[in-house]
């Protein structure tokens, strides 16, 4: 014969209920906080001020991380608890998503074009370059291309799998000084490279494979 199960301990039951109530309240506060922050965050992604990176895991599994194009901002579904992003069309899904702030915005009319039916085609579209005075970007891009493997190798050592901008800027600055030592070419200052590198790197990352 089966015995009669013991009665639950009132103290433990009350403690469990309190812990559950705290957990539910924390989840609710998290959801409310994200609902308040999401519109502004989405605008920053759309403007290029915030860049998202992740590993595509659906419908096919990618072998390298990639930049999630700013053009997709209004199609993104954020799963902050799972650190994942999916899209409202084509069922694309990215895992292990990271975000970093570039400090620069794309012109308001740059993203005005209609979204393509095939999102995979848009993934290779580089971000528009901001207008301004004569830019050092071509030199920085050339230095980054020449040192791409070295920058990727250093990035792979960090948990977020992206460069430390001051470290990468030093590599590029030293290369530019050596490369243009005798030709009189004016090169950007270290601080200029460090400031602009994150946006240039994000654009290049959408065009180049990540070092395996």
Q: Which two tokens stand for residue 212?
A: 């395996």
Question: How far is 177 from 180, CA to CA, in rounded Å?
Answer: 6
What is the pLDDT at residue 119?
Answer: 53
Place of tokens 């009189």: 184
Task: Answer yes or no: are the C-beta atoms of 200 and 140 closer than 8 Å.
Answer: yes
Q: Which two tokens stand for residue 152?
A: 């990727």
Task: Answer yes or no: are the C-beta atoms of 46 and 74 closer than 8 Å.
Answer: yes
Helical axes 137-146 vs 148-155, angle rounded to 10°: 70
Q: How remote is the C-alpha of 146 from its chain's centroid? A: 23
Helical axes 137-146 vs 190-205, angle rounded to 10°: 70
pLDDT, one tens digit for every residue, the chain (212 residues): 556 667 777 888 788 888 888 888 888 888 888 888 899 999 988 888 888 988 888 888 888 888 888 888 988 999 888 889 998 877 899 998 888 887 655 444 444 344 445 554 444 334 444 443 446 888 898 999 999 989 888 888 876 677 888 889 999 999 999 988 877 778 888 888 988 888 888 888 777 655 44
Question: How far is 212 from 208, CA to CA, in rounded Å?
Answer: 12
What is the pLDDT at residue 76?
Answer: 92
Write down the H helix ranges in the chain: 10-47, 119-122, 137-146, 148-155, 165-179, 190-205
Question: How far is 81 from 97, CA to CA, in rounded Å?
Answer: 11
**Domain spans of the chain, in order of start:** 1-130, 132-212
> Which of these, 211, 207, 209, 210, lies nearest to 124 by C-alpha position?
207
What is the pLDDT at residue 174?
Answer: 92
Task: Answer yes or no: are the C-beta atoms of 205 and 66 closer than 8 Å.
Answer: yes
What is the pLDDT at residue 104?
Answer: 58
State the DSSP H helix or E strand holding residue 100, giving kind and residue range, or none if neither.
strand 93-101
Q: How remote is the C-alpha of 85 from its chain's centroid? A: 11
φ/ψ (deg, to 5) at 69? -55, 140
């Amino acid at each position: 014969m089966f015995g009669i199960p013991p009665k639950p301990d009132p103290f433990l039951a009350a403690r469990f209920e309190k812990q559950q109530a705290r957990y539910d309240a924390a989840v609710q506060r998290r959801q409310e906080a994200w609902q308040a922050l999401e519109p502004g965050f989405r605008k920053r992604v759309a403007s290029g001020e915030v860049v998202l990176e992740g590993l595509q895991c659906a419908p096919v599994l990618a072998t390298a991380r990639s930049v999630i194009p700013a053009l997709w901002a209004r199609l993104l579904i954020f799963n902050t608890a799972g650190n994942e992003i999916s899209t409202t069309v084509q069922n694309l899904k990215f895992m292990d998503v990271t975000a970093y702030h570039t400090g620069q915005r794309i012109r308001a009319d740059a993203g005005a074009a209609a979204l393509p039916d095939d999102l995979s085609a848009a993934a290779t579209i580089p971000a528009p370059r901001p207008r301004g005075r004569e830019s050092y970007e071509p030199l920085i891009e050339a230095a980054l291309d020449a040192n791409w493997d070295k920058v990727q190798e250093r990035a792979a050592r960090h948990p977020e799998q992206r460069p430390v901008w001051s470290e990468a800027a030093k590599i590029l600055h030293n290369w530019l000084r050596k490369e243009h030592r005798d030709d009189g070419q004016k090169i950007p200052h270290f601080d200029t490279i460090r400031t602009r590198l994150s946006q240039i790197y994000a654009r290049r990352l959408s065009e180049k494979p990540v070092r395996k």
